[in-house]
C-alpha cells in the first residue's frame, strides 16, 4: 500500500484508522499503535506510511535491548537518594489506572500473602505475621512513567530479607507479583535483592491506607512507579518472565531509575 505525503489539514491518525479498518481484528490494535506512530514520523519526514507492524516490532526489540542496557547500568549497591521527612509530598498522590473509589478493598483479617515458585516454604503469610517482620524505613522519590514525581515515606521489611526467610532460590531470574485487582508485575532478581526494595506495610509510619496499597505495596525506589505494585496478594519466584499489566502494553520492562 502506497500512501503519498500527508495532505495538510488531514489528520494522519484518521488516515491510519481508515487503513486499520481493512485489517483483521487481531492485528488492529498493534497496527494502530505502531502505524499511528509511523504516521506521525511520516508527517515529519515525508516518508510513506507502510507496515506499522514492522515499526512496532523494531521499537519493541530496541526496548528489549534497553532492558539489557539498564540491567548492566543497575548497581546492586547504589542507593536511591533519601530525603528528610520534611521533604515528603503532602498529600502524596493516589495513582492508578482506575479511580480512587475503584481501588481494591482488601480485608486485612482474612488476607494471606500467597508464596509460590522456587521457594522452600510456600506457607501463606497472614498480615500479623508480615507485620512482625523486622521494619526498615525509607523516604525516597517515587518517579512516575508520566514524568511527575513525589517524595514518600515507606516502612516495611526488605524484600531480600523476606526472600531469605522463605528459602527463595535467589539464582532465579524474576520475582512476579499479583495484586488484588488483577494487576501484575515482574521484576528482575538483582532489583528484588536491592537493599531498598521493600515490602511496605506503612506509609508515613501509619498502616497503608487503601489509596496507597493496603495491605502491602512493593516499594522499589530504583524503578518507575508502575513497577511498584500495590494491593499485593501473591508472589512467585520464577525463571519465566510473566510480564506485567503495563509492560505487556508497551511500557519498557526494566524501567529502572
Catalog residues that contact other proteins under the rule CB under 8 A. 11-13, 32-34, 36-37, 40-41, 43-45, 56, 58-60, 62-63, 66, 73-75, 78-81, 141, 143-149, 221-222, 246, 249-252, 256-257
Beta carbon of residue 246, minimum distance to other proteins (angstroms, whole number)? 7
Beta carbon of residue 186, minimum distance to other proteins (angstroms, whole number)? 17
Q: Which is nearer to other proteins, 200 or 255 (CB)?
A: 255
Q: Which is nearer to other proteins, 238 or 252 (CB)?
A: 252
* Residue pointed to by grid coordinates 481501588: 103
Beta carbon of residue 124, minimum distance to other proteins (angstroms, whole number)? 33
User: What's the burial of 100, exposed, middle or buried (CB within 10 Å: 0-12/13-18/19+)?
Assistant: exposed
Distance CA 252, CA 125 (A): 31
Beta carbon of residue 222, minimum distance to other proteins (angstroms, whole number)? 5
Beta carbon of residue 73, minimum distance to other proteins (angstroms, whole number)? 5
Angle, alpha carbons 140-143-149 (nearest 5°): 85
Q: Which is nearer to other proteins, 34 or 117 (CB)?
A: 34
All cell numbers assigned to 140: 525516597
117 forms beta bridges with 237
Beta carbon of residue 171, minimum distance to other proteins (angstroms, whole number)? 24
CB 192 within 8 A of CB 177: no
Q: Which is nearer to other proteins, 40 or 116 (CB)?
A: 40
Beta carbon of residue 228, minimum distance to other proteins (angstroms, whole number)? 13
Q: Which is nearer to other proteins, 13 or 112 (CB)?
A: 13
Q: For strands 232-238 and 112-117, give the pairing.
A: parallel
Half-sphere exposure of 99 (CA within 13 A, CB side): 2
CB 152 within 8 A of CB 140: yes
Q: Which is nearer to other proteins, 104 or 243 (CB)?
A: 243
Q: Could you tell me the CA-to-CA distances from 143 to 63, 80, 95, 136, 225 in Å, in that order?
A: 19, 11, 11, 21, 6
112 forms beta bridges with 126
Q: Which is nearer to other proteins, 30 or 209 (CB)?
A: 30
- Which DSSP string corresponds to 8-70? TTS-HHHHHHHHHTTS-HHHHHHHHHHHHHHHHHHHHH------HHHHHHHHHHHHHHHHHHH
Amino acid at each position: 500500500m502506497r500512501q503519498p505525503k500527508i495532505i495538510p489539514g488531514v489528520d494522519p491518525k484518521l488516515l491510519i484508522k481508515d487503513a486499520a479498518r481493512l485489517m483483521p481484528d487481531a492485528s488492529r490494535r498493534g497496527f494502530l499503535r505502531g502505524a499511528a506512530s509511523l504516521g506521525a514520523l511520516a508527517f515529519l519526514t515525508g516518508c510513506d506510511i507502510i507496515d506499522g507492524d514492522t515499526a512496532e516490532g523494531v521499537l519493541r526489540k530496541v526496548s528489549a535491548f534497553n532492558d539489557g542496557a539498564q540491567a548492566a547500568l543497575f548497581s546492586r549497591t547504589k542507593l536511591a537518594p533519601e530525603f528528610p521527612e520534611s521533604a515528603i509530598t503532602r498529600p502524596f498522590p493516589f495513582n492508578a489506572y482506575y479511580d480512587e473509589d475503584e481501588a481494591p478493598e482488601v480485608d486485612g483479617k482474612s488476607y494471606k500473602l500467597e508464596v509460590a515458585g522456587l521457594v522452600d516454604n510456600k506457607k501463606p503469610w497472614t498480615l500479623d505475621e508480615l507485620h512482625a517482620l523486622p521494619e526498615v524505613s525509607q523516604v525516597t522519590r517515587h518517579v512516575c512513567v508520566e514524568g511527575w514525581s513525589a517524595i514518600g515515606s515507606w516502612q516495611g521489611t526488605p524484600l531480600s530479607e523476606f526472600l531469605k526467610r522463605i528459602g527463595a532460590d535467589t539464582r532465579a531470574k524474576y520475582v512476579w507479583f499479583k495484586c488484588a485487582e488483577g494487576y501484575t508485575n515482574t521484576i528482575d532478581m538483582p532489583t528484588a535483592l536491592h537493599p531498598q526494595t521493600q515490602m511496605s506495610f506503612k506509609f508515613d509510619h501509619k498502616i497503608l491506607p487503601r489509596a496507597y496499597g493496603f495491605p502491602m505495596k512493593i516499594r522499589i525506589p530504583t524503578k518507575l512507579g508502575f513497577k511498584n505494585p500495590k494491593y499485593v496478594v501473591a508472589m512467585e519466584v520464577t525463571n519465566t518472565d510473566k510480564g506485567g499489566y503495563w509492560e505487556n502494553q508497551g511500557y519498557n520492562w526494566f524501567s529502572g531509575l
